[in-house]
Amino acid sequence: MTDATHAHEPHATGVSQKLNWLRAGVLGANDGIVSVASLVVGVAGATTDTPALLLAGVAGLVGGAISMALGEYVSVSSQRDSERALIAKERRELAEMPAEELEELTQLYQERGLSRDTAVQVAKELTAHDALAAHLEVELHIDQDDLVSPWQAAFSSAVAFTFGALLPLLAILLPPPEWRVPVTVVAVLIALAVTGSISARLGGASQGRAVLRLVIGGALALAATYAIGTLLGTTVV
């Protein structure tokens, strides 16, 4: 291949951002499905009143989306603050004790299997090119140009939660009253199987286990809330 071809090949810039966005999205969708489904199925166990179901579902959707966004923002902000603090510390150490930092980088490459002479040469060349980037990558596994974004994680999580929550909300409202709960249960379990499969693929884990965990957990949540709704509805009546 020519140098020109290599120059146009895609690189890994933004990988952390993309993985963070996908992770927040999948978790948000899954939480939206389970949370709102449990809520509306529980209410459906107590009443068939459509306005009550709509009110409960919309309240759960809005409150859940805001909660998910806030949680992701706080979590990712803390992570980003920690990464920035580590970057500042490494920059200060490079300025105050460059010889010690060069030796540290050399030892890190030796631990990766390079000979002493090769490790010294690599450390010197990388330090001359960009000392901070070299230490961040090898020592701390941080890319200062690819820090996670709290706003992106919050937005992704809120949007995914909303789309996930719309499924059980529509499933409980559209069918006739006698079909509402069965249709919702089936739709939710299928959706959980899909999100479980996607999350497993993103993480390189077993799809079967991930799907089974989510489906069983979702089924238990729906059964529990429906039983509580039925019990309380009967008691009130």
Whether residue 2 is contained in a domain is answered as: no
- Per the document, the length of the chain is 237
Is residue 4 assigned to a domain?
A: no
Q: Which two tokens stand for residue 193?
A: 């199987």
Question: Which pLDDT value is given to residue 234?
Answer: 57
> What is the domain range of residue 72?
13-236
**pTM (two decimals):** 0.72
Domain tally, the chain: 1
Let me know if residue 38 belongs to a domain. yes
User: What are 171's two structure tokens?
Assistant: 């499933």
Contact 196, 211 (CB under 8 A): yes
In a domain, 85, yes or no: yes
Assess if residue 137 is contained within a domain: yes
What pLDDT shows up at residue 16? 54
In a domain, 45, yes or no: yes
* Alpha-carbon gap, residue 71 to 75, rounded angstroms: 6
Q: CB of 40 within 8 A of CB of 57?
A: yes
Closest CA to 113 of 102, 124, 122: 122
Question: Could you tell me if residue 7 is inside a domain?
Answer: no
Per-residue pLDDT of the chain (237 residues; tens, 9 = 90+): 444 444 443 444 455 556 666 666 777 888 899 999 999 999 998 888 999 999 999 999 999 999 988 988 998 888 888 888 888 888 898 888 888 888 888 888 888 888 888 988 888 888 888 888 888 888 777 777 667 778 888 888 899 999 999 999 999 999 998 899 999 999 999 999 988 888 778 767 778 888 898 899 999 999 999 999 888 875 443
HSE, CB side, 13 Å, CA atoms: give it for residue 108: 18
Instruction: Give the whole-angstrom CA distance, residue 185 versus residue 36.
Output: 12
In a domain, 76, yes or no: yes
> 33 with 165: CB under 8 angstroms?
yes
